[in-house]
């Protein structure tokens, strides 16, 4: 009886851990994809838009489980000379980087 309980307990705990990991990935996105998004946006801004790395104050990545899959991974770029604005970019492997818009940072609200 104790062996069956041990196996059942181990199975339940394992299932909870796997479910928790999958749920976290669903709501927060893949860390690997977030890193790819950051790198792709950095390359886009420096190679395509002509900025230097020193012009960039911050690149913040995010994942939105509410958006359709192709718009789920995004990056917000703040430039040194425009600290009150964030430029939003979308990324996916199929379409690459796309510009979405410019927003005032939350500091101004």
What does pLDDT average to over the chain?
A: 82
| pLDDT score at 7 | 81
| pLDDT score at 15 | 72
Residue closest to 76 by CA, chosen among 64, 93, 94? 64
Residue 78 located in a structural domain: yes
Residue 16 located in a structural domain: no
Residue 71: which domain range? 30-108
Looking at the 3D structure of the chain, how many domains does it have? 1
Residue 47 located in a structural domain: yes
Residue 3: pLDDT band by 50, 70, 90 thresholds?
confident
CA distance 25 to 5: 30
Residue 6 located in a structural domain: no
**Between 43 and 10, the higher pLDDT residue:** 43
| pLDDT score at 108 | 40
pTM exceeds cut of 0.75? no
12-42 as b/e: b if 16+ CB within 10 A: eeeeeeeeeeeeeeeeebeeebbebbbebbb
């Amino acid at each position: 009886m104790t062996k069956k309980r041990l196996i059942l307990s181990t199975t339940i705990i394992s299932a909870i851990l796997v479910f928790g990991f999958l749920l976290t990935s669903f709501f927060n996105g893949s860390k690997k994809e977030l890193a790819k998004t950051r790198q792709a946006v950095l390359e886009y801004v420096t190679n395509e838009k002509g900025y230097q790395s020193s012009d960039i104050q911050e690149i913040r990545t995010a994942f939105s489980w509410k958006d359709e899959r192709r718009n789920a991974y995004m990056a917000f770029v703040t430039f040194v000379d425009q600290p009150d604005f964030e430029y939003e970019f979308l990324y996916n492997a199929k379409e690459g980087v796309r510009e979405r818009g410019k927003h005032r940072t939350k500091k101004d609200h």
